[in-house]
Structure 1
Amino acid sequence: MHPSLKLLPLALAMTVAGSALAQQVVKIGHVSPVSGPNAHLGKDNENAARMAIDELTAKGFTINGQKVKFQLLAEDDGSDPKQGTAVAQKLVDARVNGIVGHLNSGTTVPASKIYHDAGLVQISPATTAPQYTKQGFPGAFRVVANDAKLGGTLGKYAVETLKVKNIAVIDDRTTYGQGVATEFVKGAKGPGVRIVGKEFTSATATDYAAILTSIRAKKPDMVFFGGMDSVAGPMLKQMKSLGIKAIFMGGDGMCTEALGRLAGNALDDRQVICAEAGGVKGAQEQVMTDFRTRFKQKTGLDVQLYAPYVYDSVMVMATAMQNAKSAEPAKYLPELKKIRYEGVTGTIQFDQFGDIQNGALTLFTYKGGKRSRIDVIR
């Protein structure tokens, strides 16, 4: 007993001691790049995780009848695999109860083994590389559709709806960029369709003149880019300066509100077609609108991309703990596997691999530098 409790009457001392024991501390680890070229997306994620943690604590969330004090242990992986594994081990050593993250496939996949070896549950709100959930780690989950669906759907849309014939493909040599480009090529099949060039750059490159000049000579109808908005924006500028007027298509990494700012006046109306993993329509749109409003009120910032999925990841993990009456990963993991949760992003259920069931994709274009939704498809 704490020495100060000895000064109290026995009944009161027991009440004070009991109330101290009644509040359980649950640590949620969160990892995203809050430095480097993807910092705007990483900060978006971290802000959403803090918002979810604050809301859970404020409403007096309980596990097995005990009030819970949630703590967010946030780390920066800088979109770098080595930094990602280092902070993963740091969170394991801190004895967190679960992980929400990472953003990039290139950091999520190597970090996932560290979490698996430690017996931790990990929910990624953004990782789309198929290999993440194909490793056989029972505690690995994601709440967005993977690259096989995203890239393949874009390939099919390019051929069947946009009727393109000559396609050039560029990727940034990251796990994500290569993965989504590979799946796009698999989906872009049809009579007379040709992949006229395959080029690559890096996630930190700023000059694409050589590869774009090579592509220009092949007169593509479309350029597909596997990578992030920080590269896609400047690439669009250089495409315009070289007179390349092809449709520019890519996945969720470049499909952000920031692309308009990064591309500037090089972003012609309807030139860009991209897809974001996830999306809602119908009655669910109002739920998402309400979330965006609350997010802006709390942070002073607009949602960039993955914030709603981070928020839902935290809520799904907390709900599984509540259902299991325990924050121990081994005890709440079975509840996570069978969960059906109605979140901001829609219904969340996982298949046998830990992938989101019936994951949605949202197709976008840009008008006046702003994103404009085309459709939500499943």
Structure 2
Amino acid sequence: MRRILGSLSAAIVLMVTQIFDADAEILIGMAGALTGPNAYQGEQQQQGVEMAVADLNASGGVLGQQVKLISVDDACDSGQAIAAAYRIVAARVAFVVGHQCSSASIPAAEIYDRAGIIQMTPASTNPRLTEEGRDNVFRICGRDDQQGSIAADFLVARWPNAKIAIVSDGSVYGMGLAEETRRQINKRGIGETLYEDLTPGQSDYSPLVAKLRAAGVEVTYFGGYYREAALLVRSAHEQGYKMQLVSGDGIASEAFAQVTGEAGEGTLFTSFRDPRRSSLAEPVVNRLRQQGFEPEGYTLYSYGAVQAWAQAVTVAGTVDAKAVIAALRTGEFGTILGQISFDHKGDVRQPGFEWFIWRGGKYVPLE
């Protein structure tokens, strides 16, 4: 009887311990392109979130509980994003960092909304994401209507008499950015010489480059991701065509230079402020570099998203979505991106875009 009671007591203790351990973890998700042509930038998001979670746990977690990360792959595809969102929901996470591409973030947002899960993107810039009026959606980066306006001002001021082409890769992100830039240069009295869409995923865009050259295009504004932009630049270089490419944050990846080689020198683009130059981010930047990873692009914005959520949870005193959303909407948060807050739509109030140029295989601020 003593042995039976002893075994029963041990089983009860084990069961209680397992329940306590399960309750002692807060689950959060990361959704982005871990495979496919945009996986290079998906890794930026993954590295940033992983480091943020590790740092949170090292300092005691959130509300005294450890944070556990679940990562899912959407390949920057709308269909796969829906499947990834359902996996996140099934895991019963409290918060998700993602998605990376607008084509993935927008369809996933509705699923998270129905499930009561807070979503914060470090990368999706299409205005539609926060214009659809969902309380659970936040964006820690800027929007394409801001980015397009900045690009148009620059194009008109720098090349007032040049023949300008607008090219889109047809994605939700690329088309939105290209259309916004086109709209803004038209408002400033400049008409584009050509407006073209390309098909992403191809290996040769020389026919399009030949068309741009035949039209006498001197400056091409490209809305899309780094792979297609890089192939356009390389093809122009191979044809002996001196075309100035200007683009957006989708080419903020060293993978761009890996494809273009020296042909990419002088390519200009807008992107979010680079927090690598900030003393606030220095410790995180140094540790990631020690691990052999350069925290470019979306890395530190992903880290900052976790920071903002964790601080909002602390303010709310719970991971309950409604309470944390209220804290995010009304508070100000100290992150490696600086002090940030969100407006009534969920957009960050301190977006900040700046100009960069490719030099020596790296992108640096345009002085």
Q: TM-score with structure 1 length normalisation?
A: 0.89
Match of 2:342 among 339, 350, 374: 350
Partner of 1:252: 249
Partner of 1:55: 55
Q: Name structure 1 gaps, 5 residues minimum.
A: none
8 Å CA contact 2:163–2:216 kept in 1: the answer is yes
Partner of 2:111: 114
What whole-Å deviation, never above 9, does each CA across 1:240-280 have from its counterpart, x for those lacking one? 12232121000000132222111112123x2x110112345
> Once the 2 structures are TM-superposed, how far is the Cα of residue 191 of structure 1 from its aligned partner?
6.9
Partner of 1:319: 311
Equivalences for residues 1-378 of structure 1 within 5 A? 6=9, 20=20, 24-63=24-63, 67-163=64-160, 165-189=162-186, 193-268=190-265, 270=266, 272-280=267-275, 285-297=278-290, 299-374=291-366
3-state SS, counterpart of residue 259 of structure 1: helix
Alignment partners' CA distance in 1, 2:182 and 2:193: 11
What whole-Å deviation, never above 9, does each CA across 1:192-245 have from its counterpart, x for those lacking one? 733000111123122212222111111122101111111111111101122321
Alignment partners' CA distance in 2, 1:245 and 1:312: 39
Query: What letter corresponds to residue 6 of structure 1 in structure 2?
Result: S
**Shift in alpha-carbon separation, 1:351–1:190, aligned structure 2, 3 A:** closer
> Once the 2 structures are TM-superposed, how far is the Cα of residue 368 of structure 1 from its aligned partner?
2.1
What whole-Å deviation, never above 9, does each CA across 1:283-321 have from its counterpart, x for those lacking one? x72223433212222x42112310000001011111111
Alignment partners' CA distance in 2, 1:164 and 1:288: 41
> Once the 2 structures are TM-superposed, how far is the Cα of residue 5 of structure 1 from its aligned partner?
8.6
Alignment partners' CA distance in 1, 2:18 and 2:211: 72
3-state SS, counterpart of residue 192 of structure 2: strand
3-state SS, counterpart of residue 65 of structure 2: strand
3-state SS, counterpart of residue 84 of structure 1: helix
8 Å CA contact 1:56–1:70 kept in 2: the answer is yes
> Once the 2 structures are TM-superposed, how far is the Cα of residue 178 of structure 1 from its aligned partner?
0.3
Query: What letter corresponds to residue 195 of structure 1 in structure 2?
Result: E
Identical aligned pairs, as a percentage?
27
Alignment partners' CA distance in 1, 2:10 and 2:293: 50
Q: TM-score with structure 2 length normalisation?
A: 0.92
Q: Aligned-pair RMSD on alpha carbons? A: 2.5
Number of equivalences: 362
Query: What letter corresponds to residue 60 of structure 2 in structure 1?
Result: G
Alignment partners' CA distance in 2, 1:43 and 1:192: 41
8 Å CA contact 2:156–2:188 kept in 1: the answer is no
Alignment partners' CA distance in 2, 1:242 and 1:18: 65
Deviates most, 30-39 or 199-208 = 199-208
Query: What letter corresponds to residue 276 of structure 1 in structure 2?
Result: S
